[in-house]
Amino acid sequence: MNDWNNTSGLNYNEEGSGWSLMNSGSGPAILKWFSVAVDGKFQSDWDAFRAALGLPDGVRYRFAVPYTNLVIPPTSDQSKARIFWILPGPEADSLRELNQRVGMQVCYCSHYSECWLAGRDPRGPIKNSCESPPTPAFRPPSM
């Protein structure tokens, strides 16, 4: 695997808007860590992320929490790779303006222990650059 798409790029369509993590390489990716920041401050979960962006408490969203050692197969279907998705409405529309405040990073490795750090770096994933995950560690939101 040598390419990780949409690690911090906003997706939007008639189904709403949000972010996806996709493996567009030729083999599986093994996730080592995942982080989300708003205005440069790391967030602990999707609820904290939503609040930091100023989205209302009642906003309806779907989420997935990428976790350590998750094996992610190659896919080109963004709808299967959604990690934070707001259903259609004014909040989904507002994400277009809020996107510049968001930063996401992912450290992933191949089965050959080659690792990359991906995020908003215009050069793309950077090989052998995964360091310790940011603090706080990203976790599922409280239920």
pLDDT at 80: 75
Is residue 135 in a domain? no
pLDDT at 2: 35
Rounded to two decimals, the pTM is: 0.84
Q: Is the pLDDT of residue 129 over 80?
A: no
Cα–Cα dist 143/34, whole Å: 20
Is residue 134 in a domain? no
Exposure b/e, 82-100, CB count within 10 A at least 16 = b: bbbbbeeeebbebbeebee
Is residue 80 in a domain? yes
The stretch 63-83 carries a mean pLDDT of 85
pLDDT at 43: 94
**Total domain count, the chain:** 1
pLDDT at 143: 60
The stretch 73-100 carries a mean pLDDT of 88
Range of the domain at 43: 4-127
